[in-house]
Chains A and B, each alone.
Chain A
Amino acid sequence: MRYLFVIRRAPYDGLRAIETLDLLLTVVAFDQTVEVVFVDDGVWQLCRNQRPQALAQRDVAAMWQTLEVYGIDPPWVENESLCERRIKASDLVLPVRSLPRARLAGLMREYDRVLGD
């Protein structure tokens, strides 16, 4: 089955990012195809130069960088979400696939299961 994780919350919202990644890796352990799309404030999770030490938390961007190790394709990132926050692709910690907002609903229909964060 094909799974899409839709990440739309800002990082450091309690344990949310960590627990979403735990769930994602459990799905991977079941030999399922997993892809990820970042929209809305979720795009902040991929920004460079995060200093989680100041919050005594784990680096969320570094966590997402490990996806490649598990054979997961580069994540989708919604263009408009980046533009609205004045974030450039070069501000992100990993290569991404860019997705126009108009295509998001269509993308979701390509997967058997869609999960949020």
Chain B
Amino acid sequence: MDVEETAVKGTRFLEFTIQVNASPYAGAAAEHAYRFAQAALARGHKVRRVFFYGEGVYHALKVSPPADEFNLVARWSQLAMSYGVDLVICSAAAQRRGVWEPQTQDELIPGFRIAGLALLVESVLETDRLLVFG
């Protein structure tokens, strides 16, 4: 992706909250969310938190696609490591779908954590914009 590394002079930098309601491989919504986050960060904006809700909680699963296929979850993880983005999987939505259960100590992919809806609302309150994908 060819993005300018330097922001235009006088640009007002914003802080975003992103909500992803789509699973990583069903449709393009999750990919669009990732592309938006990447582009915003590259232009000097901030992404405080990405909250995976509804079908979006399937981002918590450790996927192992063949090496020549795209791995969206791994790219989110790299983005989180590079820019300090907080990737949160909704606990209630994940439990409903059997993606996660409180008793297990299963490690998530680096950069991801499990928490409740309050973290989404808190982030929405404190950041400039909320974008919802899917």
Report the bound CA distance from A32 to B53 in whole Å: 20
Interface, chain B (partner A; CB < 8 A):
53-55, 92-93, 96, 117-118, 120-122, 124-125, 130, 132
Provided the pairs A19-B93, A23-B53 are in contact, do residues A116 and B132 lie with their beta carbons within 8 angstroms? Answer: yes
A30 proximal to B (CB < 8 A): yes
Q: How far is the CB of B40 from chain A (nearest CB, A)?
A: 18
Q: Which listed residue (A14, A16, A29, A115) contacts B130, Cβ 8 A? A: A115
Q: Contact: B132 with A26, CB < 8 Å?
A: no
Interface, chain A (partner B; CB < 8 A):
1, 14-16, 19, 22-23, 26-27, 29-30, 32, 113, 115-116
Name the B residues within 8 Å of A113 (CB-CB).
124, 130
Q: Contact: A26 with B93, CB < 8 Å?
A: no
Q: Contact: A27 with B132, CB < 8 Å?
A: no
Report the bound CA distance from A27 to B120 in whole Å: 9
Q: Which listed residue (B96, B124, B132) contacts A15, Cβ 8 A? A: B96
Q: How far is the CB of B109 from chain A (nearest CB, A)?
A: 23
4 cross-chain pairs, A with B, having the tightest CB-CB distances, nearest first:
A26-B117, A30-B121, A26-B121, A19-B54
- Determine the residue in chain A with the shortest Cβ distance to B17: A113
Which applies to chain B's interface (DSSP): helix, strand, loop or mixed?
helix
Report the bound CA distance from A11 to B132 in whole Å: 20
Task: Report how many A-B pairs have Cβ atoms within 8 Å.
Answer: 35
21 A-B pairs with C-beta separation under 8 A: A1-B125, A14-B54, A15-B93, A15-B96, A16-B54, A19-B53, A19-B93, A23-B53, A23-B117, A23-B121, A26-B117, A26-B118, A26-B121, A27-B124, A30-B118, A30-B121, A32-B125, A113-B124, A113-B130, A115-B130, A116-B132
Report the bound CA distance from A19 to B20 in whole Å: 13
A15-B54, A23-B120, A116-B132 given; 13 more Cβ-contact pairs under 8 Å: A15-B93, A19-B54, A19-B93, A22-B92, A23-B53, A26-B118, A30-B118, A30-B122, A32-B121, A32-B125, A113-B124, A113-B130, A115-B130
Q: How far is the CB of A22 from chain B (nearest CB, A)?
A: 6
Name the A residues within 8 Å of B120 (CB-CB).
23, 26
Report the bound CA distance from A19 to B92 in whole Å: 9
Q: Contact: B93 with A27, CB < 8 Å?
A: no
